[in-house]
Amino acid sequence: MDKSNTNTHKQVSDDLAKLFADDFSEASAARIGKAMEASHAYADDFISGAESMQDLSALAEDADIRRLLDEPLQKPRRVWGKLATAAVLLLAAAVTFQALWLPQPGVTEDVQRYTTRIGEQKAVKLDDGSTITLNTGTEVLVALNDDVRKVIMHRGEAFFDVAKDPNRPFRVELGPQSVSVLGTKFNIRRHPEQFVLSLVEGEVALHPSTEAVADNAASLEATEGGEISMAHPGQRRITAGWVVTYSMAEQNLLASQHDDLSSNHSWTTGFLEFHEQPLSAVVNELNRYSGKKILIGDSAIMDIQVYAGIRVDQLDQALRGLERTLPIKVISDFDSILIVGDSEQ
């Protein structure tokens, strides 16, 4: 590498660090634009850097990277309780083991970690008879103790079919908030700052992770519009038919009541159905299951109506199928799949 190349390389790194920063000025943008216009080498370097570094969240699936992320550097990460701390410490020591034994005076906790890669789905039968079905890109830790059945859900989406056991509540911890049940069916989709809970059957309690379930927690009451919004909801009982979105950042609850929630977990069959949905919405959903990013490169085709049944483990075939039935062309690139309009049809 000659001197000017080395300088360009250093400059691009500095500029990318600026680009990803919280404060980024018009002046910085203009300077980068000018530099790109002036030098092809800089332009290529900068854009390929921006493109490849803009989102590496796929690496969160990787066990080694996960371990490095969970490893405390100066201040330990926020701790969600004894189990989480123990799991993190043990993960740091021995990631390769699927089952982790936690020796503690008088207590033995068997913690199982279950994950799915992007595009993978998996049903896990637990020893208590419950079944957890994991959707794409999901990670949960499970500990079945004598007094409580505990699941820590880090990310993704899962459908829970919980076996009845009145003496052992089944508890799903989602950071600061938990969902506790006795026996029921429900779906949880976790986002970094919020989660969506759909209750198909039975009843659950929503409560702060630091508190036990109170006997007198209030139920959600149906309103005329069928929707409820609440700041700081405290403890709430939630019955079948409710879909609850809880924002952890705002500690705000948004709930709506539905007659039929079956479509919320139809993904558990590995089959996605689209009835008269715009192509853009279909692509958004498929992207959750696709290792390569699927992009629409043509605004004219975004609103094409799509009817399709798609198996999530056969996305390539499904896209070929769409190409035959819709006026689109599917172009596979090394790191992405581009959908454009097909003018010849």
CB of 35 to other proteins, least distance (A): 8
CB of 240 to other proteins, least distance (A): 21
Q: Which of residues 114-173 bind other proteins (CB under 8 A)?
A: none
Residue 85 amino acid letter: T
Which pairs from 285-291 meet CB under 8 Å and 24+ separation? 286/310, 286/315, 286/318, 288/118, 288/135, 288/136, 288/137, 289/118, 289/119, 289/136, 289/315, 290/118, 290/119, 290/315, 290/337, 291/58, 291/118, 291/119
Cα 46 to Cα 6, 50, 239: the distances in Å are 14, 6, 52
Among 32, 132, 153, 304, binds other proteins (CB under 8 A): 32
Q: What does the alpha-carbon distance between residue 38 and residue 51 come to, in Å, rounded to a whole number? A: 20
Q: What does the alpha-carbon distance between residue 47 and residue 28 come to, in Å, rounded to a whole number? A: 15
Q: Which of residues 189-218 bind other proteins (CB under 8 A)?
A: 191-193
Choice between 104 and 299, CB closer to other proteins: 299
Q: Which of residues 290-319 bind other proteins (CB under 8 A)?
A: 291-292, 296, 299, 302
Residue 85 binding other proteins, by CB under 8 A: no
Residue 283 binding other proteins, by CB under 8 A: yes
Among 4, 7, 30, 107, binds other proteins (CB under 8 A): 30
Q: Which of residues 314-343 bind other proteins (CB under 8 A)?
A: 334-336
CB of 221 to other proteins, least distance (A): 8
Choice between 56 and 214, CB closer to other proteins: 56
Residue 275 binding other proteins, by CB under 8 A: no
Residue 219 binding other proteins, by CB under 8 A: no
- The number of residues making up the chain comes to 345
For residue 316, the surrounding DSSP H or E stretch is helix 315-325
Among 2, 3, 27, 146, binds other proteins (CB under 8 A): 27
Which is nearest to 149 in space by CA: 124, 166, 137, 174? 166
Q: What does the alpha-carbon distance between residue 58 and residue 149 come to, in Å, rounded to a whole number? A: 30
Stretch that binds other proteins, among 48-56, 113-121, 163-171, 199-207 (CB under 8 A): 48-56
CB of 186 to other proteins, least distance (A): 22
Residue 229 binding other proteins, by CB under 8 A: yes
Residue 176 binding other proteins, by CB under 8 A: no
Choice between 142 and 283, CB closer to other proteins: 283
For residue 332, the tally of other CB atoms under 10 A from its CB is 12
| Tokens standing for residue 150 | 């505990």
Q: What does the alpha-carbon distance between residue 72 and residue 268 come to, in Å, rounded to a whole number? A: 35
Strand, coil or helix: 266: helix
For residue 117, the surrounding DSSP H or E stretch is none
Residue 95 binding other proteins, by CB under 8 A: no
Q: What does the alpha-carbon distance between residue 333 and residue 345 come to, in Å, rounded to a whole number? A: 23
Among 7, 85, 219, 284, binds other proteins (CB under 8 A): 284
Stretch that binds other proteins, among 54-62, 143-151, 178-186, 317-325 (CB under 8 A): 54-62
Among 59, 79, 92, 331, binds other proteins (CB under 8 A): 59
Choice between 168 and 293, CB closer to other proteins: 293
CB of 191 to other proteins, least distance (A): 5
Among 4, 7, 69, 97, binds other proteins (CB under 8 A): 69
Q: Are 196 and 175 in contact (CB under 8 A)?
A: no
